[in-house]
Structure 1
């Protein structure tokens, strides 16, 4: 059953993804509230202001603990980690809690247990997917993969994600290469379907309910794209649990 909410429903993008009562999710945009990353050269005061607007407009029960994302496989727990922890995934079980990741072409993957007890957010570029950030997150979560549902948020689409043989070979070693995940382009390079690769990894790990956003960060002006601008800001994908189950 979709979660009830007191947050502003017209702020950002609400994933079309069924969640247990008391759990909510949202994806921000370049204007709602704007860049949320402190490491891209933006005015620090503007970043702080955007983060405050985010918390106010979504009526978040607690503040996000923004991660220092490094394209690795480290997973942390919201209740025990410090803000700024070096990790690419965060999960929570107790209330209140919020899990969030920042992206600009990489994949944001949100996870929630069917009973609403556990939530998680994963930052996954191609390096993270190959290295196993999804699997490490599923290991950390105290639920079986079949008890989870996943939302794969806005990311660069296959039409715009040109990669070299090194990326192709890395996924080939994981037996994830086929005509659907990779295609040759006219320049002799590869076009990789990052969201589909993530879906395959989730399926192999045992997650059965997977929702794709179908949104492309490169072609959709609502989102930031690192490929288009290396100094681009970052959007956030968030999932949270209110203090009390409603």
Structure 2
């Protein structure tokens, strides 16, 4: 696994090896909020979304998910609906998720024919949203590449027994990703839980951004640190 992200102002490119027909990007808070459900001016959000499409030269407009911490995956093309992951095996398709502490996870097959974007908060991850997204791939797991984007880091993600119990109930080895605190709380390493789940599924190509949304909230929105009523986007698309 590697930790990398190429800097480029309001839109960043993951330092993640991809097939020639597949591209990925992540916006920063400099680009602005891209979520319509957080109280921002809808017209301003729509303008940013159109600007994003033009800036990235996307093959089509993004169909944004209505994310609600589920384990549901939609196959592109789709109409906007409640789901927390999008998958496609079609040309000229775009998959995207919005986050502000949760894990944005982008997936791609080695041959560039299959892509997916996953929004994985602790509830969705514990409930299998990442596994459900990977299950859509016809490509063997060993030939899938994963990028885990900016999210809340282990030093900042203090949780209670309910969160730890949910992950340990899923897999006993997840107990190793929770560090006990004097406050009877735990520090949870959500990105490593996701990476381990990928590894145990047979995925070998895993890249971490290494970015903490709490520790670097000058670049990223963070709900935990500032109750940010805004979201940044992680996007993958194929030609």
TM-score of the two chains, using structure 2 as the length reference: 0.93
1:223 and 2:220 correspond:
yes
Residue equivalent to 1:65: 63
Q: Deviations over 1:68-108 (max 9, x none)?
A: 011111111112x11x2111110111110110000000000
Runs of 4+ in structure 1 off by over 4 angstroms are none
Residue equivalent to 2:13: 14
Give the one of 30, 49, 52 matched to 1:51: 49
- Structure 2 counterparts to residues 230-241 of structure 1, below 5 A: 230-241=227-238
Q: Secondary structure at the match of 2:70?
A: coil
Give the one of 34, 37, 48 matched to 1:36: 34
Aligned residues: 230
Shift of 1:10: 5.3
Which blocks of at least 5 consecutive residues in structure 2 are unaligned?
A: 1-7
Residue equivalent to 1:25: 24
Contact 2:10 / 2:30 at 8 angstroms: preserved in 1? no
Contact 2:105 / 2:146 at 8 angstroms: preserved in 1? yes
2 CA distance for matches of 1:98 and 1:212? 21
Shift of 1:193: 0.4
Which blocks of at least 5 consecutive residues in structure 1 are unaligned?
A: 1-8
Give the one of 169, 178, 185 matched to 1:189: 185
- Which piece of structure 1 moves more, 225-234 or 89-98? 225-234
2 CA distance for matches of 1:104 and 1:240? 21
1:167 and 2:166 correspond:
no
Q: Deviations over 1:197-233 (max 9, x none)?
A: 1001111111111001100111111111111233420
| Aligned-CA RMSD value | 1.2
1 CA distance for matches of 2:192 and 2:203? 14
Q: Deviations over 1:133-165 (max 9, x none)?
A: 111111122222112000000000001000001
